Amino acid sequence: MEQRRIGDSDLFTSAIGFGTWEMSTKQYGYIDVKEASTAVNTAIDYGITLFDTAEVYGPYLSEELLSKAVGNKRKEIVLVSKVGFQYDDSGKNLGRNSQYGHVIERTEGCLRRLDTDFLDLLLIHWPDHETPFEETIGALEKLKKDGKIRYYGVSNFSTDMMDECEKYGHLTANQVGYNMFDRRMESKVLDHCLDNNIGFMAYGTLAYGLLSGAFTPETTFEEGDWRHRGLAFRLPLFQEEEFTKELKVVDRLKEIARRHEKSVAQLAIAWTTGHPAVSVGLVGVRNEWELKENVAAIDWVLEDEIRQEIDEVFSEEGVSTHVETEQAI
């Protein structure tokens, strides 16, 4: 499988990364944890080398499950986790916290749960607007100096925020949502990462299920499912009126994919990972069948004509790609 360099680091990753948000929580509907854990091990055999988790997934459960699933194959993968929240004793999320001591303490917890001496890449999950970036980067530099992490980066940071962080240390990556339905990163962030040797890790490659091809007009989301609120990182992707129009887009995208003997999910993966700034496209995997489907998209390089046809579908159906919409920070 194709290996890509993350920024200017010596970390190399498969074009598809294994995202573990889904396997840690009921926020994505029912998932068979045993099947998902088996898929982790199988993914390594298929050539997927990057596994992305975070302490907030669960919280903590994703890291614990991933550690068990990876087993003795730790040296074969690029292991990524994220910190930047604080919790009460019950695990309730109390908000963002990227203070010096907190970042170090929470990272130590990640290492214990993942049963590893170091992380290949540690990210600050969301910007903490109450803590100076100089303080946060100082903590990351300390962790790197002590051998607890090899590289560090951020997630959901704007270009101005990245520039401020770069005054105190070098970011290896920024992980932000990017897919056909959410192109906010095309306005600034993607080019900024490319120009400054910062890797871009795309999450939400399948638009949180929209581009899986599994949804119908009758699809609803249970109250515990985060999509039940209708918003996806401030975009109205799952509000009824928008959702109905988006499904018409997906139906037409299926036809494009079918002409090339591919699925709409494979089309979506090829579209995201085909951007020159994207180091890796993260995809949640529930079972081995989904894994095989995702991997089959890797070698598909979309021609400009296909990308243009996709854009025309969105335009004709009156569905926004949100290029000019403000980034969620």
Q: Which residues are catalytic?
A: 57
* Phi, psi (rounded to 5 degrees) for 196: -115, 20
Angle at the Cα of 200 (from 196 to 206), degrees rounded to 5? Answer: 155
Amino acid at 227: R
- Token readout for 243 is 């959702």
Tokens of 230: 């209708």
- Closest residue by Cα to residue 209 from 27, 1, 35: 27
Rounded CA gap, 328 and 320, in Å? Answer: 16
Q: Cα(63)–Cα(65) distance, rounded to whole angstroms?
A: 6
Q: Which residues contact 102 (CB under 8 A, 6 or more apart)?
A: 83, 86
Distance CA 150, CA 141 (A): 10
DSSP string, 238-283: TSHHHHHHHHHHHHHHHHHHHHTT--HHHHHHHHHHTSTTEEEEEE
DSSP-based three-state secondary structure for 174: strand
Distance separating alpha carbons of residues 39 and 33, to the nearest angstrom: 10
Kindly report the backbone phi and psi dihedral angles of residue 77, in degrees, each rounded to the nearest multiple of 5, phi listed first: -125, 160
Q: What is the 3-state secondary structure (H, E, C) of 193-210?
A: HHHCCCEEEEECCCHHHH
- What span, in angstroms and rounded, lies between the C-alpha atoms of 268 and 247? 14
Those residues with Cβ within 8 angstroms of residue 129's Cβ, 6 or more apart along the chain or in another chain: 96
Identity of residue 123 = L
